Structures are given as structure tokens and as C-alpha cells.
Chains A and B, each alone.
Chain A
Amino acid sequence: MMLGYLKMLLISIFIFILVCFFPSHAQDISIIMSEHSAVKQLNAEQVKRIFLCKDRLTAQGERWIPINLSAHNLVRKSMVDQLLQFTPFELERYWYEQYFNGVSPPYVLASEEAVLRFVSKTPNAIGYILSCHVGAGVKTVYTFNDNKLTSKLCP
């Protein structure tokens, strides 16, 4: 009996040490806009409303152009799960409801490189990529973290 408790205690200590010294490589995801954009920072709620097309105008009264990655992209799945807080089933229904009301979902680009290129050239375009892929021509307006994404996605 005593030996059993001791064994459990040792396993717990071992797990604790593993967690402390080998932290999971959680990935940061950046919401990006053109470096020339007047927007300095956005909060989670603002980003959520822009990507759900609930907020359609920038502070200057111009239209937001949100850009999605393809449905099977891991970064998009993270965006939907962590930031939009929808299940895939809920999001599908949401966009069909919007379609019925004349609202199209964000345009889809095939890769993070394409998002980076498009956002850097397009005023009021807003996209999301892994923070490690943020490059010239864009700035980060919001960052969030997903510890389910592995470090293999970054060089």
C-alpha cells in the first residue's frame, strides 16, 4: 500500500520536472496588416468581429478585407478554435446563415506566403499567419497563442 503511494508520488514529481524543464512549444499566431496601415493594435473581440464580418468598416469608414487560409490549414483551425471560438459545425452554419443574409465569408488564400504578400500590398486587408513567418511589409496588430500547434511548423 505504502509502496503504491510512493510510486505515485515519484511519477508525479517526474511529470512535474518534465513540464518545468521541457515546456511545450506553443506557437504564436499573428494577426497582420500592411505596415502602412493606420491601425496600431486590435483586441481579440475586434479581430473576432472582423473575421466574422460583423464589423465591416475600419475607423476611417473603409471596408475591412479579412483573408482566410484554407479550411484544412492548421493555423486556420487554430484561429477558428482559439479566437473565433466556434466548432467547425457551428462555423459552417454561421456562414450559411450569413450567406442567406447576403454576407460572404472572408476570401481564402492557399498559403501563409500568399496571405503575407496580399496583406502587405492591400490597404485594410487583414490576415493571420504564424508569428515566425511574419516578414517585411506587414505589422502585427494582435497575437494569440495556441499550445496545440507544434514547433515543427516553424523553422
Chain B
Amino acid sequence: MLIILLLGALHPVQAEDVLPPSYQWGRGYHIPAYHLTLGGYTKVSYSSFESGSQQAGLNDLSLFIFWNPLSRLRLFSELELEDLFTLDGVTSFADAFKVERLYAEFLINNEFKLRVGKILTPFSRWNILHVAALVWTSSRPMITKGYVVPQHSTGLSVHYSSSLFKRDFNVVVFADDSADLELTRDEHEFNYAFGGRLNYQLSRELNIGGSFVAAQIDVQHGVDWQHTLGVDFLWQKNQFELQLESIFNLAPNYNTHSKYGLYLQGVAPLFEHVFAVGRYEYMYGNKNNHAVYERSQAVPIHVGVVGLTWRPAPPLALKVEYRFGGNNQINAPSGVLTSIAMFF
């Protein structure tokens, strides 16, 4: 309603009136006169695990609205219905509805921008580009699932983006106050946090990154301040891809254990639009529940994923994968996972 009122109040830029609204599959509906875009993505999946259980449903139905009412101001929202339909039935709208992202962005200049609101935590590479239509597997690597570093952050962030030796150089620092500002509570989230991320394009093919976060998080018997460090790289050439992320989460006290882990994922084009994907994951954590940090329960968890991704059209991805491992029954159970994901 507010958007409609503001649209009515703002007269469109005259010269841009000649650019008509347009829809492009995978890029949304764009109205140039108002600098407004509506779009989103969806994901449906079916999984059959070796334990005998099955999962299927409409996992994600996300709507993007982004609007640049002024040259220095951009408003962005991603509203999501999560697991609206599953094998167990229809989830109520209230339970399925999530505010994935909601922020206002102020461009200070071309290098610096300020974001206020809810963003994807700028920690590691997967989390900030986790959208199902872009990633290569139906499953998320264990270390990115938010048990160690929550996926969302609500507060203030400063983004620096420029060129260094003609290569992209990006820095983000953020301060989180989810305890007071969060709109919809997630399963794992910060109470308070601060941190940052740096990414540098070392060559045309290779990006390297590092992330840090210090956070107060709810644990079994109270709250803990946790410190987590992440290092990652992404190498891409001729549609081949190699990506690594590793994290180290320092134990907050003697009774708890440090958590650390990594994944290494490779992608290779097989024939037109079909890619082979392989991933190895390791995590030293709790095999029954990652949110529990008791030292006595820590075990090494190994997971392997092999699969195929077919991208018949750029906005569409069909994936099938087989996952296996050791001590992985709860966090990443063995079985076959399939999904179809699409930007619209």
C-alpha cells in the first residue's frame, strides 16, 4: 500500500517514459519509469533417504521487490513462503511466511553504500548467493546451514566495492541487533553480532575471501559469545568451477568444543547444459544436533555428494544427487535428493 502511494506521488523521469515495462523470464517484471522490479524464484524438491524417510514439497516461493525511488536510495525485499506444501500437508501461511531480506540501501558514492535492515549474513561465499537456481546442488553444505553462523543479520552494514589493480575488491562490515530488530524469528540466529567479509579477485578466474564474526547466540543453557573465522576461494574457467569454504569456530569455554569444517566442491561441464558436481564435506561437530556444543559429544562428520545439474535454460536448474557419509545421519542424511529451481 505504501509502495503504491509513493509510486503515485513520484512522477516518473520524463525521458525514461519511452522505455516500456517489460518481463523477461528469470529477470522479473521491470518498470523503468519507476525503477521498480518484481521477480523471485521457486524450488520444489523430492528426497528419499536410506533410513526410509522421504521429503517432498514446495520448499521456496520467494518474491523480490526492488525499487530505486531516488538515485542514492534503493529498497529491497525478499518475502518467502517456506515449505508451504510438504508430504505432511499444507503449512499455514503464518508458519510458512518469512522475511528473508528487507533493507534500505543508501549509496554514499560508487564505492561506499550503507544498508539498514535484514540481510544475508556476509559470512562465506555460499550464504550470500545461496539461491537454489544458482547453486549446483539441492543440498546445502553442513557448514553453511546456519548452525555455526546464522544465515541472516538484522542491523547496519557498510559495503565498499572498488577496483584494486583492475580487479574487484569488496569489503563488508556489519553490526547486528537481531535480539531487538528481527521481524520473524529463525531457528538459528544472532542475538547480537559484528563482523565482516573481504573478497578480492586475484585473477580473472580466481576469487579469494575471508570472513569473521563475533556473536552472542542462544545455546542450551544460556547464551555464549562465539568467534568464527572463515576462508574461501572460487575458481572458474570455461564452465569448470572449484569452490572451497572453511570455518573455524572457537569454543567459548572449556566444556564446549571448537567447531571447524570445510567443503570442497567441483563442477565440470559434461555436455551442453549438463554439469557433473562433486563435493566433499568435513565437520567436527555434534552428530545429533549441531546447536549442542558439549565437548563429550563432538565427532568428525564426513559427507560426500555426487550429482548432475541440467540447466536447459539459464533461469532453470534441475538437479539430482546422491549423498553419503559417516556420522551424518542427522545433519546430512544419506540418500537421493532431487530438485527443480527457477528464477521467474
Which positions in A face B, CB cutoff 8 Å?
A: 45, 49, 54-57, 61-63, 65, 85, 87, 89-90, 92-93, 95-97, 99-105, 107, 118, 121-123, 125
CA distance A104 to B166 in the complex (A): 23
7 contacts between A and B (CB under 8 A): A61-B71, A85-B204, A90-B236, A100-B41, A102-B64, A104-B66, A107-B30
Expressed in whole angstroms, the minimum distance between the Cβ of A97 and any Cβ of chain B is 6
14 other A-B residue contacts (CB within 8 Å) besides A96-B26, A99-B26: A45-B163, A45-B166, A54-B168, A56-B110, A63-B71, A87-B238, A97-B134, A99-B39, A101-B76, A103-B66, A104-B66, A105-B27, A121-B18, A123-B15
Is A121 a contact of B15 with CB atoms below 8 Å?
A: yes
Contact of A104 among B37, B314, B343 (CB under 8 A): B37
Query: In this assembly, does B109 line the interface, its C-beta being within 8 Å of a C-beta of chain A?
Result: yes
Which residue from chain B places its CB closest to the CB of A54 in the assembled complex? B161
Is B134 a contact of A57 with CB atoms below 8 Å?
A: no
CA distance A111 to B204 in the complex (A): 31
Expressed in whole angstroms, the minimum distance between the Cβ of A39 and any Cβ of chain B is 14
Contact of A55 among B64, B72, B110 (CB under 8 A): B110
Contact of A57 among B18, B110, B163 (CB under 8 A): B110
Which residue from chain A places its CB closest to the CB of B131 in the assembled complex? A100
CA distance A121 to B343 in the complex (A): 34
CA distance A107 to B17 in the complex (A): 13
Which residue from chain B places its CB closest to the CB of A85 in the assembled complex? B204
Which residue from chain A places its CB closest to the CB of B269 in the assembled complex? A89
Residues of B within 8 A of A57 (CB): 71-72, 107, 109-110
Contact of B71 among A55, A62, A122 (CB under 8 A): A62
Is B27 a contact of A63 with CB atoms below 8 Å?
A: no
Contact of B28 among A55, A56, A99, A125 (CB under 8 A): A99
Query: In this assembly, does B325 line the interface, its C-beta being within 8 Å of a C-beta of chain A?
Result: no
Is A96 a contact of B315 with CB atoms below 8 Å?
A: yes
- How many A-B contacts at CB < 8 Å in the complex? 74
CA distance A65 to B14 in the complex (A): 13
Q: Which 9 A-B pairs have the closest CB atoms?
A: A102-B66, A122-B15, A63-B71, A102-B76, A55-B110, A92-B314, A100-B131, A104-B37, A62-B71
B residues 273-322 with Cβ under 8 Å of A? 314-315
B residues 23-73 with Cβ under 8 Å of A? 26-28, 30, 32, 35, 37, 39, 41, 64, 66, 68, 71-72
Which residue from chain B places its CB closest to the CB of A99 in the assembled complex? B27
Which residue from chain A places its CB closest to the CB of B76 in the assembled complex? A102
Query: In this assembly, does B74 line the interface, its C-beta being within 8 Å of a C-beta of chain A?
Result: yes
Known: A54-B161, A62-B71. A104 touches B30 (CB 8 A): yes
Is B15 a contact of A49 with CB atoms below 8 Å?
A: no
Query: In this assembly, does B239 line the interface, its C-beta being within 8 Å of a C-beta of chain A?
Result: yes
Residues of A within 8 A of B315 (CB): 96
CA distance A45 to B162 in the complex (A): 11
For B154-178 the 0/1 string (1 means CB < 8 A from A) is 0000000101001010000000000
Which residue from chain A places its CB closest to the CB of B105 in the assembled complex? A102
